[in-house]
Amino acid sequence: CLDEEGKVHKFDSSWRTEDCNDCSCSRGGIRCCTSYKTPVDYDEEKCESIFNKETCSYKVVEKDDHSKECPVHSWVG
């Protein structure tokens, strides 16, 4: 399989892209999906979500104090 970056992958292999997508190669082609969940149900007036590209995950924190995490009631992904 040839990915978007021009890299060749063996059949039945899998990898994670720089954009935090999990991909796999089969004889049918390449399939990719996000490797992370996105927060969708939290207090958006008081809090904000921050994506960490190194850990491929979101953290939801207070806008005025990033050391305080906010409760998230629902995630998608």
Under DSSP, the state recorded for 2 is B
Q: What is the pTM of this model?
A: 0.75
Domain map of the chain by residue range?
1-35, 38-76
AA identity, residue 27: R
AA identity, residue 44: E
Fold of 38-76: N-terminal domain of TfIIb (2.20.25)
Under DSSP, the state recorded for 69 is B
- 13-67 pLDDT, tens per residue? 999 999 999 999 999 999 999 999 999 999 999 999 999 999 999 999 999 999 9
Report the alpha-carbon angle 17-20-24, nearest 5: 50
Was domain 1-35 assigned CATH 2.10.70.10?
yes
According to the model, what pLDDT value does residue 5 have? 87
pLDDT at 2 over 90: yes
pLDDT at 4 over 90: no
